[in-house]
Structure formats: C-alpha cells, structure tokens
Homo-oligomer: A and B are copies of this chain.
Amino acid sequence: MRLVIIGADAAGMSAASRIKRRRPDWEVRVFEKTGDVSYSACGMPYNIADPGRDMDDLVVRRAEVFRDKQGIDLRTGHEVLGIDRFARRVFGKTASGHAFEDSYDRLILATGALPVLPDLPGTGLPGVMTLKSLEDGRRIKVFLQEQGVSSAVIIGMGYIALEMCEALCARGIRVEMVKPRPAFLPWMPSEMAAVVREELETQGVRLHLGVEIRGIEARDGHLEVACADRHLPADLVLVAVGVRPNSDLAAKAGLQLGAAEAVAVDRTMRTSDPAIYAAGDCADAFHVVTGQRVWIPLALRANRGGWAAADHLAGASASLQGVAGTAVFKVMRLEVARTGLDRAQAERAGFDPVEVVIRSRSRAHGHPGNRPIWVQMVADRASGRLLGAQLVGEEGAAHRVNAAAVALHRHMTVAQFSQCDLAYAPPFGPVWDPLLTAANQLLKQASG
C-alpha cells in the first residue's frame, strides 16, 4: 500500500508518523514544497521577539529523523501541482525545476493555509512582509537584524497581528496597527475588547481603526502605509489580515469544498473521494456546538486530524467530535481566550442568545497579586444551553477556558455547568470561580 501525503507540517507529518507506527510495511511518501518540515508555526512571533534565538529552534522533528528513524520517504522541495484522481497519480515540479510524478493508493492533503494578501498597491515592496511559513519568519528576522528597523505598521488586528505586535514591541520597535473596519476584536464584547485595546495603548502601540487603506508606498528609503486620511511611515510593514485554506489543488481535482472553501471532510477526514483524505488547515471540520461545517485553522486540530486520517486508513476506529473553536493568545500582559460561539455566531446559527459579561478576580479577595478577570458567557435562551465563553485577564484566563470547552463538547446547559465542582484556593481564584459567577449571572438573567 502506498500512501502519499502532500504537505509536511503538523497534519501531514502527524499522519505520516502515525501510519508508520500502525502499518510499518506501508510505503509512506511525503511531498513538501518548501525545505521545512514539522515546525511550530505558532511559535514564530515569540522566536522573532528574541534576537538570540535561532528560527530553527522551532523545528519539532528534523527531516532526517523522519527519513532515517521512521522510514518515511520525505521529499522536500517537491511542489505537487496536480492530482489525477482517476489514475491515482500526482504530478509536480521540484525546487530546481524538474518535473516529477508519482502514484498513490491513498492520498492525504495537508497543504495548510495561505496568508490573505489584500488587493493593495505596494504589497510586493521590499520590507512588506507576511508571516505564514518558517521561511517568512526567517525573512522577517533577517530584515529586523539587518535593516535596523525602528518602526513598524501592522495591517490587521487578529491573533497573528497582535502576537507580532508584542514581538516587535519586545524588540524595541515602535508599532502602529491599522485596519479598515471600526471594531477592535469584533467577536468580543466591547467592554472586554476595550481592556485589550487599553493594554496595547498603555504599552505604546497606536491603533488606527476604521481607516481606509489605499496602498503601501516606498518613500525616502522607508515605507509608508497610505490611508484615506493619514499616512503611516514605517521601516517594516506586516500584512496580517488573515489566512485562507490552501485548497486550490483539491478544487482543481474536483473534490468537494466545504466551509470557507476548505476541503470538505467527514468525521474520519475523508474527502468526497474515498481514496483521498484531508487534514489540517486545508480541511474543514464540524463545530461541536452547531454541528455545522466550519473552518477554524488551529494547531491542535491539525495534529489531531493527521492522527485521525492515519487511524482511519489503518482500519482503526476514528470519528472526530469536531472543534469548539477554542483559542488563546497573549497580548502583552493579558491572556485572551475564547471557546464556542460569540453572540453574533450564535444568532447566525439560529440560537436566541443571551449573554453576560462579568468582572471577577484572579485570586481570592484580599490575596496579594489579585488582578481583574473578565468573563463573557453566552447561552441559548430557550434551551439554556451553553454556547460559548470568552475570558480576558492578566492571569488565569488561558487555562480556565478549557473547562467551558469541555462543557461545549458535552452540550451542557448553563445550569449544569454552574454546578461543576471547580477548584478553589486563595492564590488561584475566588471561591466561586469566575466561570461559575458568569454562569450564575447568566442563569439569573435568563430567568429574570
């Protein structure tokens, strides 16, 4: 049996390793366009923050290990350009320009995501960067080192934009952030988004919201982001307006696409062609709250999807529950976490959402080091079902969100969640955990 995998990052290499453990006799061949395999993309901003760290620290397992120790036929510098589903063949070209082709019995697509590039003049100028691949990371790091960057403009204000903002600030770079839409973290209740915004501004970051961006220009040896009503000069411009699934190959091969044009997969990671699986950022998933297809590209899902595809291929049982959309990120001193649906998503999914935002404390009343923590919780009015939660605070937000995530997986009502026996000790929270306080308030509001 020959398994071909396209893409050698989290999903692809998780699948390759797992299938080799379960079926050592299978021939497993991986084609990877770049020279990099199996690295922690999420770690890039933190690596960039520290000039002393090598970018290759982020490599989880080196290509030679996959080849020599695991017997995986890993071919870097091999870009697959097409799939012939009827002949079960893939074809492409190598980095040095040579054509290649190969046959498969089973195929896994693990082609990841691509950064969205806004349709603006100037995105090709030197010093205008995106951050998706490890090579992007190296490029930014070298640029910072060699060009003596003292100011940067970040276009976009999502996770990556905010993490990169922190990284650049850590290197003493003056950062301004700009986006066309008026709301900062639009999925977050405004009072909580204001907490994050204030933290950024306190740390010296200037935010420009609701600003029409016309293009990026090179001027007198530096760059300038030209907006309708202002000009933002910078030594570096980072474009971080989001990512899209890299499903072009699948689409060309006639595979069915799902949420956000990602490759549609079932709970065993099979695409519309039973010989082809897809996992990681290129594939969609089912949302545990709505049951609907969604595209939420995150690292855990990629790893888990790779395993599930391998398990199913190997004949083991594999049926993924799906994603809750649990995510966490750090913004300067703040932890920001979410799981499940925000209010607008709940409405779009056909629920009648009721929402609370509470402010509690990270430690017991009067305990030294006590910091505020905010919790948003949203539920369905009719059924009382918990639909989502968000947290912001200097401590205790990141891991707390997981309790709510588990509750979403089990379709708990807020009343049920409010009865959970959560941990208490004065250094770690109030007697009523902030999540429980939010649940209690939500119950009161729903019944009032």
Contact = CB atoms under 8 A, between A and B. Distances in A.
A339 B300 contact: no
Contact of A426 (B40, B323, B406): B40
A339 B403 CA distance: 13
A327 B329 CA distance: 27
Contacts of A335: 428
Contacts of A10: 431
A372 interface: no
A335 to B, nearest CB: 7
A409 B421 contact: yes
A409 B367 CA distance: 29
A128 B324 CA distance: 53
Interface residues of A, number: 68
B402 A409 contact: no
Interface stretch (A148-156, A240-248, A393-401): A393-401
A420 B416 contact: no
A320 B418 CA distance: 10
A425 B329 contact: yes
Interface string A45-75: 0110010010001101000000000000000
A321 B416 contact: yes
Interface string A355-375: 000000000111110000000
Interface string A319-341: 01111111111100001010100
Interface string A73-86: 00000000000000
A405 interface: yes
A435 B330 CA distance: 21
B422 A326 contact: yes
A227 interface: no
Contacts of A298: 424
A306 B10 CA distance: 49
A416 B422 CA distance: 20
A426 B367 contact: no
Given A43-B367, A400-B399, A405-B403, A300 B422 contact: yes
Interface in A395-448: 396, 398-403, 405-407, 409-410, 412, 416-417, 419-429, 431-433, 435-436
A423 B42 contact: no
B421 A398 contact: no
A405 B421 contact: yes
Nearest to A53: B366
Contacts of A339: 421, 423
23 contacts: A42-B425, A47-B366, A300-B422, A303-B431, A303-B432, A320-B419, A321-B420, A327-B425, A328-B424, A329-B425, A330-B427, A330-B428, A335-B428, A337-B423, A398-B427, A399-B400, A399-B403, A399-B428, A401-B423, A402-B402, A409-B419, A409-B420, A410-B412
Interface of A: 10, 40, 42-43, 46-47, 50, 53, 57-58, 60, 288, 298-301, 303-304, 320-330, 335, 337, 339, 364-368, 396, 398-403, 405-407, 409-410, 412, 416-417, 419-429, 431-433, 435-436
**For the complex of A and B, 8 pairs with smallest distance between CB atoms:** A399-B399, A402-B403, A328-B423, A324-B421, A398-B428, A410-B410, A406-B406, A321-B419
Given A299-B424, A327-B425, A407-B410, 18 more contacts: A40-B364, A40-B365, A42-B364, A43-B364, A46-B426, A58-B366, A300-B424, A322-B421, A326-B421, A327-B424, A328-B428, A329-B425, A335-B428, A396-B399, A403-B406, A405-B422, A406-B420, A410-B410
